Chains A and B, each alone.
Chain A
Amino acid sequence: MRDKQIEDLKDYKYGFSTDIESFKAPKGLNEDVIKFISNIKKEPKWLLDWRLKAFERLKVLKEPDWQKPKYPKIDYQDLYYYSAPKSFKDKPKSLDELDPKLLETYQKLGIPLNEQKRLNGIAVDAVFDSVSVATTFKETLTKQGIIFCSISEAVQKHPELVKKYLGTVIPLTDHFFATLNSAVFTDGSFVYIPPGVRCPMELSTYFRINASDTGQFERTLIIADKGSYVSYLEGCTAPMRDENQLHAANVELIALDDAEIKYSTVQNWYPGDKDGKGGIYNFVTKRGLCKGKNSKISWTQVETGSAITWKYPSCILKGDNSIGEFYSIAITNNHQKADTGTKMIHLGKNTKSKIISKGISAGFSDMTYRGLVDISPKATNSNNFTQCDSLLMGNKCGAHTVPYIKNKNSDSNIAHEATTSKISEEQLHYCQQRGLNPEEAVGLIVNGFCKEVLQQLPMEFAVEAQKLVGISLEGSVG
């Protein structure tokens, strides 16, 4: 039974592409395309100006090249910056008006958009190529004053909130990919939790790149007002294509006084085939700002997909007593490459951060943990604990750890530990003695290795993630 399951899953099961006529902006990156995007989304003038300002800045910026995984130069003029299913030119009012093929796609992905069929009550915002296609459970959320919609909709309906917070965590003048996103971002999710509200359900976004030659540039903005709480999930897939596709998203989180944001990602973009052809370049900028006192931001990520993953979800701990957490599992197999980690920037007093990172590399892959812990002179009595462990399977792969540790405050403590090893023969032997085959044994041990992080995920995601961990390592043993 399990064998069959694995057989089904062995190949990238989200690798289908959907035949939906799409409506694209002309290829290339220039002011006209930016105006085109802004125009089609009926954006106010301030936002267009903001985009153009980012574009001006982009001309000066150079693509960074300090990362470990190198990639062939991307021709930014040869990409579509906007792609939308044609039937979306006039956005559907309800789910009934949705293109049935689109609904089918999301069914295949296991994202039921049809609310009635949902049992476990997760509000979903699905993003297809460049546009958000549907947001579920709107009414329940609205009752509590929670705003959960696509960012384009938020620009129209809540411009004051967007204007106030957009770009406050990731400024226009940030690095190349973040600025590129600021100039051409198409859609994404917007969440606002009013003061004192505890969001009653998990909010979730599902991203999918469908059209070829497209880059996906979504932008997510989550604001948790005083004393509120939200848990947000993000999942991603893409069809199998021979060429590499670019995904450069920006995610901004803002937690005000006593607020808490929990952001979980299960990233399963198409990783390319066994020889490393094709796959997504996942160059994402994720940053959270603990603006208020006693606020907390927690990142959890399970990174199994993408040809190259290059991201550092970060926390800026500005408010006194604020807390930042980062839990990560990154798995690379075949020719996948990952350079991921986090940044914890302590600015406020009594701030605490915790980093748990588990890396597993197999096949010909290469994995790097790169992290920064920076305690500024004013961050008295701050604490950081970092643990990053790597597991290697085979001698064709690599695992690297590059932590940067800066302590400028004598009342603060930083502790960092890292280990690299392989699965011990004894452990394998023990499991096999008790009737598990080698693959099951490895699966069991790896799951144990990742447990600390998997526990942080919400239930539904934890199950999916656990399966993904098994699948990603398929064929790497023996």
Chain B
Amino acid sequence: MEEQLKIDFEKKLKDFSYSDQEKKFKETNFKEFLKQGFPNRKLENWKFSDLNQIIKSNIGELTFYNDYKKENQIDKIELISELEHNKIIIVDGKIEKIDFKFEDKDKIEVLVEQGEETIKENINSLINLNNAFSNKFCKIIIKKNYSLKKPLVIYHSTNKNTQSKNTNSRIDFKLEENACLRLIDIFKENSEKNFLNIYYNFQLDKSSILKNYKIDKSINNNVKYSYNNVKQETNSISETFILSSGSKFFKNEINCDLLGQHSSAFVNGIFDLDEENHHEIKSNINHLVENTKSYQLVKSVLEKKSKAVYQGKIFVNSEAQKTDGYQLSNAILLSENSEFNAKPELEIYADDVKCSHGSSSGSLDENSIFYLMSRGLNYQEAKKLLINGFLLDVIEKITDEEIKNLIKNLLGVKE
């Protein structure tokens, strides 16, 4: 793999005329990735999902070079018809289209950057990989006091003949004071056996609101990793909802730094897995100042040989008094071969806090099924009704009505 990496990286450098600074940035990141490689189970964060192994068994040999000079076809991508939206289309890691047609032009600024910053913090080797191979990345700034009229949908797609490839994409967002953004990620790939690596940075200024909904519903054989890095100032709110379902493997990592007082973070998720899918959500909520709040709720329904992992961490440092942190994960195992692993973690250094977590996993309650069947439902109906109710708990947490309905339709959940 190392040979392939080096060849592909050389090609990548030749494609564009990078400035010395950019070159240095890419090279440092590349070296770091070469040193560490894909994460494996020896790393605490990857204990339950050995990515190295998963790539080997699902993809085999990966290649890393993508030819970004030729135009990708984007008209074949199926768009959401239920609601009007702004869109960004990413194909094979390259941003093909940015369209804010419903918004005031002077309120949104789109900058194209080449990665000039040097790495300040080493997050993990996949971020290094992303920095080394990603194309130009976008920085989107939402101006002060502006809230988008329509949600922004980012479509992640691949070309038909892209196979056994690693694609990398990165977008940075900055929400200025009082700004508001509703962001939906939708995954629609046209090819199989690729490794998609997505990296988002969010800077939430005072009183801004971010709502991020990630929808992975269409069934595919790709391996995906997504990292959200959220920095929150005073009074800001971030809401993240993850519907994890269609991909072969998907790990969503959310890192939230609550840097300003009265900021709050919400992370909710649903695992709806079938076949041999293996999905993970890893959250890191860092309470760094007083009076911050976080809430996490993750529910799983696991069929066949699927496996779900939830690692949620609440960190409270010694200055963060009056923190309110809550975390709950429930799982229903529907097949004897399904598996649920959880690691709800608390790391607390302040005494005047209220932190708790709960986790449960088990089968469907036989008594409830009996109750429903005695009222005339057949077994399948009873089961469906119970699962609906179970998942509805999380869906009801979505604060945006339009998107809530969209997700309800997608899951076929009715009230």
Contact = CB atoms under 8 A, between A and B. Distances in A.
Contacts of B347: 398, 400
Interface stretch (A88-96, A264-272, A402-410): A402-410
A399 B355 CA distance: 11
B346 A405 contact: no
Interface stretch (B55-63, B242-250, B336-344): B336-344
B351 interface: yes
Contacts of A400: 345-348
18 contacts: A390-B348, A395-B318, A395-B349, A395-B352, A398-B348, A398-B349, A401-B346, A403-B342, A404-B341, A405-B340, A406-B339, A410-B335, A410-B338, A411-B363, A412-B363, A415-B358, A417-B359, A418-B346
Interface in A130-183: none
Contacts of B362: 407, 410, 412-414
Nearest to B362: A413
A418 B356 contact: yes
Given A403-B344, A408-B339, A418 B358 contact: yes
A396 B317 CA distance: 10
Interface string A79-93: 000000000000000
B390 to A, nearest CB: 15
Contacts of B354: 420-421
Question: Which residue of B321, B344, B345, B348 has the most chain A CB atoms within 10 A of its CB atom?
Answer: B348
Contact of A418 (B318, B321, B338, B357): B357
A403 B362 CA distance: 17
B360 interface: yes
Nearest to B320: A395
A419 B361 contact: no
A414 B358 CA distance: 10
Nearest to A372: B343
B350 A392 contact: yes
B357 A417 contact: yes
Given A401-B357, A403-B343, A410-B334, 6 more contacts: A394-B351, A395-B349, A395-B350, A410-B335, A414-B360, A421-B354
A73 interface: no
Given A393-B351, A395-B349, A407-B341, A377 B336 contact: yes
B345 A401 contact: yes
Interface in B303-340: 318, 321, 331, 333-340
A261 interface: no
Contacts of A404: 341-343
A42 interface: no
A422 to B, nearest CB: 4
Interface residues of A, number: 34
A60 B331 CA distance: 40
A227 B43 CA distance: 44
A374 to B, nearest CB: 9
A274 interface: no
Question: Which residue of A407, A411, A412 has the most chain B CB atoms within 10 A of its CB atom?
Answer: A407
A400 to B, nearest CB: 5
Interface of B: 44, 318, 321, 331, 333-363
Nearest to B336: A410
B333 A409 contact: yes
A272 to B, nearest CB: 21
B44 A421 contact: no
A397 B344 contact: no
A406 B308 CA distance: 10
Nearest to B310: A405
B359 to A, nearest CB: 4
B246 to A, nearest CB: 22
B344 A420 contact: no
A455 B351 CA distance: 27
A56 B361 CA distance: 42
Nearest to B331: A407
A420 B354 CA distance: 6
A414 B332 CA distance: 11
A420 B353 contact: yes
A417 B356 contact: yes
A46 interface: no
B353 to A, nearest CB: 6
A414 B359 contact: yes
Nearest to A405: B342
Q: Which 4 A-B pairs have the closest CB atoms?
A: A413-B362, A410-B333, A392-B351, A401-B346
Nearest to B332: A410
A428 to B, nearest CB: 13
Contacts of B321: 395
A418 B44 CA distance: 21
A341 to B, nearest CB: 12
Contacts of A416: 342, 344, 357-360
A404 B343 CA distance: 5
A202 B382 CA distance: 53
Contact of A413 (B336, B355, B363): B363
Interface in A373-394: 377, 390, 392-394
Nearest to B335: A410
Contacts of A390: 346, 348
A333 to B, nearest CB: 14
Interface string A82-116: 00000000000000000000000000000000000
A94 B109 CA distance: 90
A26 B359 CA distance: 52
Given A395-B351, A419-B356, A410 B363 contact: yes
A405 B347 CA distance: 17
A403 B338 contact: no
A200 B357 CA distance: 42
A406 B343 CA distance: 9
Given A405-B341, A414-B359, A422 B331 contact: no
Question: Which residue of B342, B346, B363 has the most chain A CB atoms within 10 A of its CB atom?
Answer: B346
Contacts of B343: 402-405
B341 A399 contact: no
Contacts of A392: 348, 350-351, 353
A440 B349 CA distance: 25
Contacts of B338: 410
A406 B341 contact: yes
Contacts of B361: 405, 407, 413-414
A397 B347 CA distance: 11
A149 to B, nearest CB: 43
A410 B353 CA distance: 35
A410 B340 CA distance: 9
Nearest to B351: A392
A407 B350 CA distance: 32
Contacts of B337: 377
A401 B325 CA distance: 13
A396 B333 CA distance: 41
A143 B338 CA distance: 53
